[in-house]
Amino acid sequence: MSEASTSPERDRRGRREADAEELLACDDCMSPADAFSVVASETRLSILEALWRSEETPVRFSDLRREVGMRDSAQFNYHLGKLTDQFVVRTDEGYDLRHAGKAVVRAVLAGTFNESPDVEPFGVGDPCVACGAELRASYADETFAVACPDCGKPHGKYAFPPGGLNDRDETELLRAFDQRVRHLHCLAADGVCPECNGRMTTKIVEADDPDEAPLGLSVHVEHVCAQCRHRLRSSVGLSLLDQSDVVSFYRERGVDLSATPYWTLPWCVSDEYVEVLDRDPWALRVAIPEGDETLTVTLGPDLGIREAERGA
């Protein structure tokens, strides 16, 4: 094959990169370095936080200055002017946050830039799906993990902003982590990056060596953002938690799947229940047992359910 020839996958990748560059190419856009320098001021952060806290927006200049607690009107106007257009929008009625301004405040509240806490490992109260020992949860380096201390089987390890630890006991923290994991994979499966809202692609990956497979899974799902390159890996089962066939199957048996921690569902943390039917294109069969009945679903390469059957 000549150097000028390209594969379809390479063509698609090239188009995605070109699209991303086009989106980022903007004559009126502020460079990332300039954007960070603008908000690198305690006064400007105070202005953004004051707008965030305001129950009614837009906020008039005098009311906003009073809320920030700055007496010098000219100095306050200088800092507000630096934020206007990129982080704050000015209207006839006053000032309000733009999306970028809200993102900055959310990042501060989440502790993304200024917090780095650790949490001592604690018992989850649920058994490992592999050996039955009690699972333990841990938090370090802005990552929350649930794993078995006895056999070492991982039951999930994902980024969790430090702000999520605030005002939550262990039970509430586990619930928040469970919901966050579901949310991350729901967005990713729908093609939306949970980090930047860019286009996310989904593919099924089969490891050559099961012993060295990511997440300890020989077959797993990988979501990758074409814009920010954020990568999210998971078991095949996690993509099925909000599928109507699966939700109905559990509901008919008196189980609220949305309130059931995903790590207690063996088909969500193991590939033992996954069977590869075809690889070109991908076709998978997943067995979902509950009580004395099993729901068997067949998935296509997009992880959509093609068939669903129930049996003993």
> Which domains does the chain show, CATH number per domain?
29-110 (1.10.10.10), 119-236 (no CATH), 238-311 (no CATH)
More confident residue, 29 or 244: 244
Report residue 3's pLDDT band, with 50, 70 and 90 as the boundaries.
very low
CA distances, 279 to each of 78, 135, 272, 303 (Å): 61, 34, 18, 13
pLDDT digits 0-9 by tens, 196-227: 889 999 999 998 776 666 667 889 999 999 98
Task: Tell me, yes or no, if the pTM score tops 0.75.
Answer: no
Query: Residue 308: what pLDDT?
Result: 95
**pLDDT at residue 113 is higher than 80:** no
- The residue with tokens 């460079």 is 31
Give the helix ranges, DSSP H, for the chain: 8-24, 32-39, 42-53, 61-68, 73-83, 99-110, 170-189, 244-251, 266-269
Report residue 127's pLDDT band, with 50, 70 and 90 as the boundaries.
very high
- 34 contacts: CB under 8 Å, gap ≥ 6: none
Q: What percent of the chain has pLDDT over 90?
A: 54
Whether the ω angle into residue 58 lies within 30 degrees of 0, i.e. cis, is yes
For residues 236 and 257, give the distance between their C-alpha atoms in angstroms, rounded to a whole number. Answer: 16
For residues 39 and 87, give the distance between their C-alpha atoms in angstroms, rounded to a whole number. Answer: 9
- 273 contacts: CB under 8 Å, gap ≥ 6: 237, 266, 267, 286, 287, 288, 289
Query: Residue 37: what pLDDT?
Result: 76
- 82 contacts: CB under 8 Å, gap ≥ 6: 38, 41, 44
Query: Residue 28: what pLDDT?
Result: 55
Query: Residue 32: what pLDDT?
Result: 63
Query: Residue 273: what pLDDT?
Result: 94
pLDDT digits 0-9 by tens, 61-79: 999 999 998 888 999 999 9
Query: Residue 222: what pLDDT?
Result: 93
Query: Residue 214: what pLDDT?
Result: 65
Query: Residue 4: what pLDDT?
Result: 39
- The residue with tokens 């000219």 is 74
Contact by Cβ (8 Å): 238, 286: no
**pLDDT at residue 13 is higher than 50:** no
Mutual angle of helices 32-39 and 42-53, in 10-degree steps? 80
pLDDT digits 0-9 by tens, 148-167: 999 999 999 998 888 888 88
Contact by Cβ (8 Å): 183, 195: no
Instruction: Give kind and range of the element (H or E) at residue 225.
Output: strand 219-225
For residues 205 and 193, give the distance between their C-alpha atoms in angstroms, rounded to a whole number. Answer: 19
Report residue 173's pLDDT band, with 50, 70 and 90 as the boundaries.
very high
With vertex at residue 85, the alpha carbon angle to CA 83 and CA 89, rounded to the nearest 5 degrees, is: 90
- The least confident of 34-48, 140-154, 166-180 is 34-48
Contact by Cβ (8 Å): 101, 51: yes
**pLDDT at residue 248 is higher than 50:** yes
Report residue 5's pLDDT band, with 50, 70 and 90 as the boundaries.
very low
CA distances, 51 to each of 62, 110, 167 (Å): 13, 17, 23
Residue 41 sits at φ, ψ, to 5 deg, of: -150, 130
For residues 150 and 158, give the distance between their C-alpha atoms in angstroms, rounded to a whole number. Answer: 21
